[in-house]
């Protein structure tokens, strides 16, 4: 396989079902759909953690959350373990980042980049300290703003994404030609369609409020009950002020932000073609996690349901099968070996224990069916949660609480939890055995809580954190976080 440049575009909070190429009935994503047509779409792609900072640490390092020990949005990546960027730089490849990274701070060389352009990192180098508190989950009052503010308009996030697009187009036209001796790597991090759910008017207007689909299992009587999910609803109280008009505005805005994201990606892909770089460049599109988008009365991320833990993943370019839908499970940790493989770098012996595989090999059918892992120890989690995808089954393990089991072939909407079905006991036992081959849930739950307690004390103690409050989302460069 001939080495080539690689652009990896990572959005934020993109529900994988909200894509035209995934069969969504009304969403307009022509640029991502075209990318999928000329490449391979991974239909069983997952985040390694359904919240920003841990997911991005796993993407950087190719290691699971319990290996990086970046458990939540306050404990961020700061250069160790080594990233794919470090490995590429060691071999003379130029590595650039534009946009959201969500690491501890701006230190390009330490973070694994030759340059960081418009980087967004955790707030003040400390991030969301509220998410560390898990002995008694604090109510996150800022969540109450999600529905009331939803609608058309501009936000600091939409302005930030436009700047990221402009900087990326400029980099392709003016910087990329300077790095022709070896293939280069470019990471582009957008924030859309992450809340606030405020979409630019032309994109919002694509989705009349009375035409957007109503969320599945939204009505109170139809929402599934589980101790983990019930506790999360109380902590992440997004849905409490919602009425029907708010729900419809929120969904219309999310769809509008998704089309806005697609439009920005289209500008990058056009610049790639106009500069003559397209023939020698592979492109990956994915997201750090999904969004529940009202399903089961849940908004935001943080659950192991498909809407939240599932992510889009598309690969296109030289040597990539065109028009293919690949059902082999993949995750963000597969990004590390993909960068090494795509640029023709030499694998480092220090990375032989990484869990991932190259998306190029997976797309070409060279990797057999595999079991993948996602886990969560952050805001709203009364206990550690772990998910594996094993064939047709998704198994969710909660430390100290009943598990969940879904047959995604028969029940893609995850309406029927099979965990209490006596006929599924062997399947549950096999899934738990496979989970424990990768991670000991109880041991890592204790380690996460111990690390979080240390971090709480380091930052003045629980009461000081509660008094200060927390913010809803990390602001872009130059903006300040609003605390609630």
Question: What are the pLDDT digits (tens) for 99-125?
Answer: 999 999 999 999 999 999 999 999 999
> What is residue 281's predicted lDDT score, i.e. its pLDDT?
98
pLDDT at residue 369 is higher than 90: no
Helix (H, G, I), strand (E, B) or coil at 42: strand
Percent of the chain with pLDDT over 90: 99
Of 183, 182, 137, 191, the residue nearest 163 (C-alpha): 191
In contact, 295 and 217? CB cutoff 8 Å: yes
In a domain, 410, yes or no: no
In a domain, 476, yes or no: no
Question: What are the pLDDT digits (tens) for 392-445?
Answer: 999 999 999 999 999 999 999 999 999 999 999 999 999 999 999 999 999 999
In a domain, 197, yes or no: yes
For residue 293, give the CATH number of its domain.
3.40.720.10
Q: What Cα–Cα distance (Å) separates residue 30 from each residue in 83, 164, 260, 263, 451?
A: 32, 20, 11, 8, 44
**Tokens 């694998």, residue?**
347
Backbone φ, ψ for residue 367 (5° rounding): -115, 125
Residues of the domain holding 132: 5-369
Percent of the chain with pLDDT over 70: 100
Instruction: pLDDT band for 472, please (50, 70, 90 cuts).
Output: very high
> What is residue 400's predicted lDDT score, i.e. its pLDDT?
98
Q: CA-CA distance, 272 to 385, in Å (whole number)?
A: 41
Helix H segments across 281-344? 306-309, 335-342
Helix H segments across 405-461? 425-438, 441-458
In a domain, 403, yes or no: no
Backbone φ, ψ for residue 400 (5° rounding): 80, 0
Helix H segments across 129-243? 146-149, 156-170, 201-204, 227-235
CB neighbours (10 Å) of residue 426?
Answer: 8
Average pLDDT in the 451-460 region?
98
**Tokens 């059902």, residue?**
327
In a domain, 378, yes or no: no
Element of type H or E holding 466: helix 462-468
Is residue 361 exposed (0-12), middle (13-18) or buried (19+ Cβ within 10 Å)?
middle
Instruction: pLDDT band for 331, please (50, 70, 90 cuts).
Output: very high
At CA 293, angle to CA 288 and CA 299, rounded to 5? 85
Q: CA-CA distance, 341 to 456, in Å (whole number)?
A: 40
> What is residue 1's predicted lDDT score, i.e. its pLDDT?
87
* Cα-trace Rg, the chain: 21
Instruction: pLDDT band for 168, please (50, 70, 90 cuts).
Output: very high
Q: What single-letter DSSP state applies at residue 310? A: B
- Per-residue DSSP letters for 333-391? GGHHHHHHHHTTPPPPGGGTT-----HHHHHTT-S----EEEEE-STT-SS-EEEEEET
Length of the chain as a residue count: 484
Q: What Cα–Cα distance (Å) separates residue 93 from each residue in 4, 89, 114, 139?
A: 11, 5, 9, 46
The count of domains in the chain is 1
pLDDT at residue 333 is higher than 90: yes
Q: CA-CA distance, 463 to 469, in Å (whole number)?
A: 10
**Tokens 């980049």, residue?**
113
CB neighbours (10 Å) of residue 141?
Answer: 12
In contact, 483 and 470? CB cutoff 8 Å: yes
In a domain, 102, yes or no: yes
In a domain, 395, yes or no: no
Average pLDDT in the 44-73 region?
98
pLDDT at residue 5 is higher than 90: yes
In sequence order, the 6+-apart residues with CB closer than 8 A to the CB of 334 are: 62, 356, 357, 358, 359, 362
In a domain, 300, yes or no: yes
- Characterize the bridge pairing of strands 39-42 and 324-326: parallel
Q: What Cα–Cα distance (Å) separates residue 437 from each residue in 27, 58, 73, 329, 432?
A: 40, 19, 27, 17, 9
Average pLDDT in the 173-191 region?
97
Question: What are the pLDDT digits (tens) for 220-254?
Answer: 999 999 999 999 999 999 999 999 999 999 999 99
pLDDT at residue 39 is higher than 90: yes
Element of type H or E holding 468: helix 462-468
- Nearest 10 degrees: Cα torsion 368, 414, 24, 356: -30
């Amino acid at each position: 396989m001939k080495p080539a440049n690689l652009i990896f575009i990572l959005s934020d909070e993109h529900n994988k079902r909200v894509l035209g190429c995934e069969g969504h009935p009304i969403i307009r994503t022509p640029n991502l759909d075209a990318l999928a047509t000329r490449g391979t779409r991974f239909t069983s792609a997952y985040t390694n953690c359904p919240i920003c900072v841990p997911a991005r640490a796993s993407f950087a390092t190719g290691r699971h959350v319990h290996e990086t020990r970046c458990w939540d949005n306050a404990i961020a990546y700061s250069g160790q373990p080594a990233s794919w960027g470090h490995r590429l730089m060691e071999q003379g490849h130029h590595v650039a980042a534009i946009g959201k990274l969500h690491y501890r701070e701006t230190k390009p060389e330490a973070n694994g980049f030759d340059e960081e352009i418009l980087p967004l990192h955790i707030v003040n180098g400390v991030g969301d300290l509220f998410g560390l508190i898990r002995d008694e989950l604090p109510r996150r009052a800022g969540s109450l703003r999600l529905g009331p503010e939803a609608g058309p308009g501009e936000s600091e996030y939409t302005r930030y994404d436009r700047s990221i697009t402009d900087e990326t187009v400029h980099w392709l036209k003016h910087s990329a030609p300077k790095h022709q001796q070896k293939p280069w790597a470019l990471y582009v991090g957008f924030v859309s369609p992450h809340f606030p759910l405020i979409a630019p008017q032309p994109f919002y207007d694509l989705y009349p409020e009375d035409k957007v689909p109503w969320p599945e299992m939204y009505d109170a009587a139809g929402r599934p009950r589980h101790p983990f999910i019930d506790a999360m609803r109380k902590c992440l109280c997004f849905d409490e002020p919602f009425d029907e008009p708010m729900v419809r505005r929120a969904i219309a805005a999310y769809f509008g932000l998704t089309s806005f994201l697609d439009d920005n990606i289209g500008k990058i892909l056009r610049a790639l073609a106009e500069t003559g770089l397209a023939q020698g460049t592979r492109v990956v599109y994915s997201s750090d996690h999904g969004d529940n988008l009202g399903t089961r009365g849940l908004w935001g991320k943080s659950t192991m349901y498909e809407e939240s833990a599932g992510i889009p993943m598309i690969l296109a370019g030289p040597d990539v099968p065109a028009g293919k839908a690949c059902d082999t499970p993949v995750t963000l940790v597969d990004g590390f070996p993909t960068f090494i493989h795509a640029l023709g770098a030499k694998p480092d012996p220090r990375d032989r224990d990484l869990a991932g595989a190259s998306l190029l090999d997976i797309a070409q059918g060279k990797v057999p069916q595999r079991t993948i892992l996602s886990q969560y120890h952050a805001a709203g989690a009364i206990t550690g949660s772990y998910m594996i995808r094993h064939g047709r089954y998704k198994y969710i393990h909660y430390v100290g609480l009943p598990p969940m089991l879904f047959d995604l072939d028969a029940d893609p909407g995850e309406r029927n939890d099979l965990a209490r079905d006596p006929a599924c006991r062997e399947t549950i036992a096999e899934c738990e055995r496979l989970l424990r081959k990768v991670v000991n849930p109880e041991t890592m739950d204790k380690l996460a809580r111990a690390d979080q307690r240390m971090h709480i004390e380091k930052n003045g103690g629980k009461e000081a954190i509660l008094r200060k409050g927390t913010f809803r989302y990390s602001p872009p460069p130059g903006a300040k976080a609003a605390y609630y």
